[in-house]
Amino acid sequence: MAISTINPTTAEKLKVFTPLTSAEIDKKLALADSTFKQYRKTSFAQRSAWLNRAAEILEKNKLEYARIMTTEMGKPIKSAIAEVQKCALVCRYYAEKAPKFLADVSVATDASESFVSYHPLGVILAVMPWNFPFWQVFRFAAPALMAGNVGILKHASNVPQCALALEDIIQQAGFPPGAFQTLLIGAEQVKAVIEDDRVKAATLTGSEPAGASLASAAGKQIKKTVLELGGSDPFIVLESADLESAVATAVTARMLNNGQSCIAAKRFILAEAIADEFTEELITKFQALKVGDPMSEDTDIGPLATSAILTDLDQQVQTSVQAGAKILIGGKPLSDRPGNFYPPTILTDIPLDSPTAKEEFFGPVALLFRVKNIDEAIELANDIPFGLGASAWTTNPQERDRLIKDIEAGAVFINGLVKSDPRLPFGGIKRSGYGRELSIQGIHEFVNIKTVWIK
């Protein structure tokens, strides 16, 4: 499989990389394994110093790294800059918090002394996606490195320059060369890596098929995995909601990263009493968005990351229309320019029994549904295979409590945008995956939680 930088704005192939051979992969795994034996003995203070240095490098060179992201996958430059800054934030968070998160925890038992202790596992494989090419990696790497593990990265094949920049940042920060390495390999080479005895666990953010494949290979080797997969997040707006705030947030929630986010709001579930007004305001705000060159500061929507994603998204829209859905705005690729551009699109009257009513639309397409009451809203929100995040809008305390209790998702945000935050655990249920990233729960995923009993 080709590993290439293809600019999604211009469709120009900028650079091609040759995948590593089996011998080259073996050499990198050997380095990771030998590095771990020494790296695990380093102090928290030393790891924190290196990780804080990584944060400084990120901030100092944020525009350079943002331009690499925008060139390779098309996110607006202002969003790319914000992503680099968020990476620095997670580095500083774990540099400060990891010693406390991984400190021994005393437990009173029949022993003279007993406690829970946390120890690194070894080489951890990270299979990461293109949509947040820096953030997804650093939210794995920061806790993994602070825990004393070493990482190997198999990044998406359309962001190789991001992948190499990430390795360079961590090495510039002072970490040993084998503490974090990029493997420029195709998807078909991942199975051999996870089967290697030197690799102890794996994490993947990506599609359901990719997650199932990795989990199956790891399961046969009795190796732990953490999966963060797709989502078709509901955005529920009830009659009591602050409608102005809900609509404004809805635009950001759907259009973030050109609509290519697992936790983007994708299904807008509207109480009938406010549905017309919400829809009119949403159309107006979608029409005001600027679609164009993602390198421009005033661009709101850039191109989709690949031509295949553009084709798949358009096919989903056309399939929805054939099933009876109505297009309120947008609805077909922009043919007046090169690149993978799809306009802000709104679909309504989507039959609930059509396949696309339950699918994930990975692009700037909003699906609108109407419900009579909170019971119907929750039922529709849960009637999908996914369970990643949910945003719900109400000023009624009883409704708020129902939504929190009954929505099937890894995160519920009331009157706010679903987002990841280093201070809170992140992950899903159902076919959105398992395990958690970030916060204390994230750093505990890839450690040996060891019981110690002394008499």
228 catalytic residue (yes or no): yes
- Check 228, 281, 360, 437 and give the catalytic one: 228
Q: Which of 262, 359, 399, 445 is catalytic?
A: 262
Q: Tell me, letter by letter, the H, E, C secondary structure of the chain.
A: CCEEEECCCCCCEEEEECCCCHHHHHHHHHHHHHHHHHHCCCCHHHHHHHHHHHHHHHHHCHHHHHHHHHHHHCCCHHHHHHHHHHHHHHHHHHHHHHHHHCCCEECCCCCCEEEEEEEECCEEEEECCCCCCCHHHHHHHHHHHHCCCEEEEECCCCCHHHHHHHHHHHHHCCCCCCCEEECCCCHHHHHHHHHCCCEEEEEEECCHHHHHHHHHHHHHCCCEEEEECCCCEEEEECCCCCHHHHHHHHHHHHHHHHHCCCCCEEEEEEEHHHHHHHHHHHHHHHHCCCECCCCCCCCCECCCCCHHHHHHHHHHHHHHHHHCCEEEECCCCCCCCCCCCCCCEEEECCCCCCHHHCCCCCCCEEEEEEECCHHHHHHHHHCCCEECEEEEECCCHHHHHHHHHHCCCCEEEECCCCCCCCCCCECCEECCEECCECHHHHHCCCEEEEEEEEC
Known catalytic residues are 228, 262
